[in-house]
Structure 1
């Protein structure tokens, strides 16, 4: 913990220096970069100071072990032997890392411990099956080293989970950060010029709107994905992944034909892969990995849950019936396209900036934009899926705000997701766990989308007869993953939100 605490002191000192810089007479671009850099430091300071994850959250250590192997598997960046030897070297360090974890976890939180235990208990396949696909070209000695490192690491992980289970009765309950800290998070880290009450109200308004729009479908059951309505149900995991991946071409053709966004020539492939079970507790719908900021390989990945045609999981049912709404969010025009463009910025501060509210807002905006521009037949299950996806993203807002400010318990959040968001219990528990573990991540979708819609309307008024939707999209995502409060200044030349945040 000594090095962790030293880093916290360093970040706090650097933040104080940046805050003290007289920047008022700087150019627009320099002031924008100052504000972005300040918010990056605020983020590092806030999450370490308030959440203290090294002391409270066992998930970070379990994830460190899993990600060490997972990152070697997901991309063919080197021959199997090279990656297998790298895996062996990483796995050899896992027992010592987990010993450090036990020393660091001076105040573990019971909820985080449960999630870490679930990840360990469900994660063996990553090491015993997926990893071993890299072992085909190893010598007998190298293979023995890999197997030994793997077995020792898996044993250490389960012993760590055993230790957590024994300690659970005396662990602290999960605690909210409270309204004062949450407001600081909104303003100084996320650069959102709104209070927690305003954010909660926005979520309530959007939830009411999308529940009403679901009810206005000629067949409201279309909002709940049903594989039985699909013209083809994949026979196995391999076909499921292949069919999923192939549907992206339809979206790209649609976007190009209608000039809705410019797809740059450097954009790489977008591949669909199975989600390792170790990541399921907090990512029930899977997750997307964009190309690395400096990675010359432009490939992106989306990891989806294990295929089961009888599953009650919302994301599996949706993917079988029509994967395009989720593909539009995760792939093109959503995360993969937007983050790939951001990686090519020349301004390093903006290239490095990763505003979750804009990133998720853009992807959610893209879902509805594709629907309204005519990708799906009117009054179809695909339209219903888009409405349900927006409905439960709106429900996320209330959960995040009310959990983190202390107004709701964890169980209240789960029930709210099920009742208001229309999710099954498995998905609802994963969503609530994510909101507790990653404050503000869940509000980004609907808040960011609302901000983009507001910016779109103002841009349309400003452009008048010269307005073109595709031009707006191109200009919006050409700036990287920046807060909309900053984009208002860059696109509309309106600095009012920034001035409020600078004070």
Structure 2
């Protein structure tokens, strides 16, 4: 893991230097920290209010350095940043207006900081617009850089071509099984959208408890009583202004393990994006992936690990692999037996994760442009245009992340199969899962080496 962490440093500083080639890096370094501070539920005491103000006040200096650091960033990346910062001033003013009653900040101090931040963000956007005509169009890092990431950061023992083959096979599997499920369910009544936010929140809370009981009663995974709950909460107005600049959730932290996880949601409708349209009909798929037994639950277990090195991850391959694996684990375990169309949702999620492999690899190798990747996802998942574009942007600027779901899941499945064959009748599914989840920040190849003494999955 130390080697992976050190390789991550080289990756981010030298091989994929987003600080030098991606203007969105500076958007993420300025607005995302503000969003993250505001996902922690208010009202905010003096200390937290001061932290929020400090993060807003830091925006101008970070952007000033960004203008100096950027060296001919790809035009598509600059275009994304320009589009993302459109109308940023009224959005920031919305934060100031809505936030005052939830903080100890003085109105003048907050408004002044917001105005300076808006000035800096607009100036940064103008600079990018000036640069745009002279910027290169190529976004791809190239094969050598991508292979470095796979081998040394992610500890994935596969070539780009092998990844493509794995993704294609899983795509065929997902499409076929979705077709079987749809045919089976053609006379089943459709899922219903929650009537309002309160009903959505209550439904999610009841089903979260159902999932916890299901895991324990079926002997799938141990659920300690100290782990908090995955909850939904109405999105505050001051946070809604920052949608698109960070995840609208609070997974707590190693120092806040006694608190519940929060996912902020907006009013239910039939016009939500891909993931949230599915969630407003049945909250269980997203709960399973990012709540329990997914990300929040896994992070809580790992944050309490005896080994401090294992309390943090340096590549999300194991984490996202667990999140995706959990979906199919719960599907095969019978959680969704009561909801035919929810099973279709799970299979459609599988289609997306398989396609992400192809999109990730081809963006990195220069075989897809950003626009081509977005169109491909929109048509083949299928999904809404906005979500498809957001996905393509994230994968183009952060190569190697989109493969983590599918490849991580496949690594866990192989790990389970090898453990099952080695243990024979002594194999215990709960014990296996407890080990994987507790060590969920550790690359799967290293977990397998530790548990089975098998280093064959490590890159050569």
- TM-score using structure 1 length: 0.83
The residue aligned with 1:290 is: 251
Which of 1 and 2 has higher RCO (CA within 8 Å, sep 6+)? 2
Secondary structure of 2:224's match? coil
**1:266 offset after TM fit, Å?**
2.7
In structure 2, relative to structure 1, the CA distance for the partners of 1:296 and 1:209 (3 Å cut) is closer
* Residues 251 and 436 of structure 1: CA distance in aligned 2, closer, same or farther (over 3 Å): same
Task: Summarize the Cα distance change of 1:126–1:368 in structure 2 as closer, same or farther, 3 Å threshold.
Answer: farther
Q: Which moved more, 1:174-183 or 1:72-81?
A: 72-81
The equivalent residue for 2:80 is: 115
- How far is the alpha carbon of 1:454 from its aligned partner? 1.0
Shift of 1:483: 1.2
Q: After superposition, where does 1:242-321 map in structure 2 within 5 Å?
A: 243-273=203-233, 274=235, 276=240, 278-280=242-244, 286=247, 289-295=250-256, 298-303=259-264, 306-307=266-267, 309-311=269-271, 313-321=273-281
Question: 265-274 or 206-215: which moved more?
Answer: 265-274
CA contact (8 A) 2:141 2:365 kept: yes
The number of aligned residues is 455
Q: How far, CA to CA, are the matches of 1:444 and 1:266 in structure 2?
A: 29
Q: Superposition RMSD on alpha carbons, in Å?
A: 2.7
Q: How does 1:329-340 map to 2 (within 5 A)?
A: 329-340=289-300
The question of whether the paired residues in 1 share the 8 Å contact of 2:215 and 2:221 is answered with yes
Q: How does 1:160-175 map to 2 (within 5 A)?
A: 160-175=124-139
Bigger mean CA offset, 476-485 vs 270-279: 270-279
- The equivalent position to 2:25 in structure 1, one of 25, 35, 60, is 60
Aligned counterpart, 2:115:
151
Identify the match of residue 214 of structure 1 among 161, 178, 184.
178
* 1:451 alignment counterpart: 411
TM-fit CA distance, 1:481: 1.1
Shift of the 220–119 alpha-carbon distance from structure 1 to 2, 3 Å rule, reads farther
Q: Give a deviation string over 1:404-447, Cα, whole Å, max 9, x none.
A: 01222223322321233222222221111111011111000010
Q: 67-76 or 402-411, which moves further after superposition?
A: 67-76
**8 Å Cα contact 2:88-2:118 kept in structure 1:** no
Contact 1:56-1:107 within 8 A present in 2 as well: yes
Question: Contact (CA 8 Å) 1:42, 1:189: kept in 2 or not?
Answer: yes
Counterpart CA distance in 1 for 2:355 and 2:248 is: 19
C-alpha deviation, 1:221, in angstroms: 8.6
Decide whether the 8 Å contact of 1:268 with 1:299 is kept in 2.
yes
**Partners in 2 of 1:464 and 1:125 — Cα distance?**
63
Alignment partners' CA distance in 1, 2:298 and 2:457 = 23
Please, which moves more after superposition, 203-212 or 316-325?
Answer: 316-325
Question: What are structure 2's unaligned runs of at least 5 residues?
Answer: none
Cα deviation digits, residues 313-345 of structure 1 (max 9, x gap):
212220121121111000000101111111111
What is the alpha-carbon distance in structure 2 between the residues aligned to residue 374 and residue 492 of structure 1? 29
Query: What residue is the counterpart of 1:373 in the other structure?
Result: 333
- 1:260/1:339 Cα in 2 relative to 1: closer, same or farther (>3 Å)? same
Per-residue CA deviation, residues 276-333 of structure 1 (Å, 9 max, x unaligned), is: 454427x7xx5655332455555433355x4451316212220121121111000000
Structure 1 gap segments, 5+ residues each: 1-35
Q: Is the 8 A contact 1:307 1:316 kept in 2?
A: no
CA deviation string 1:112-159 (max 9, x = no partner): 2222233323655763334544423777x9221111111221232223
Instruction: State the 1:388 CA deviation.
Output: 0.2
**Residue 41 of structure 1: aligned partner:** 6
Q: State yes or no: 1:359 paired with 2:319.
A: yes
Change beyond 3 A, Cα 1:115–1:494:
same
- Secondary structure of the 2:366 match is coil
Q: Take 1:344 and 1:103, find their aligned partners in 2: how far apart are those partners?
A: 41
User: Do the aligned residues in 2 keep the contact of 1:251 with 1:332 (CA within 8 Å)?
Assistant: yes
2:195 aligned to which of 234, 243, 248? 234
The correspondence of residues 9-24 of structure 1 with structure 2, limited to 5 A, is none
Separation (CA, whole Å) in 2 of partners of 1:121 and 1:136: 27
- 1: CA distance, partners of 2:218 / 2:286: 20
- Residue 69 of structure 2 corresponds to which residue in structure 1? 104
* 2:221–2:431 contact (8 Å) kept in structure 1: yes
Q: Is the 8 A contact 2:320 2:405 kept in 1?
A: yes
SS in 1 for 2:293: coil
2:47 maps to 82
Please identify, of 480-489 and 111-120, the stretch whose mean Cα deviation from structure 2 is larger.
111-120
Structure 2 vs 1, CA of residues 157 and 195 (structure 1 numbering), >3 Å: closer, same or farther?
same
Paired residues of 1:80 and 1:135 also in contact (CA < 8 A): no
SS in 2 for 1:441: coil
C-alpha deviations, 1:449-474, integer Å up to 9, x for none? 11111111111122222223222111
Q: Which residue of 1 aligns with 2:354?
A: 394
Q: Distance in 1 between matches of 2:88 and 2:293?
A: 32
| 1:177 counterpart (130, 141, 148) | 141
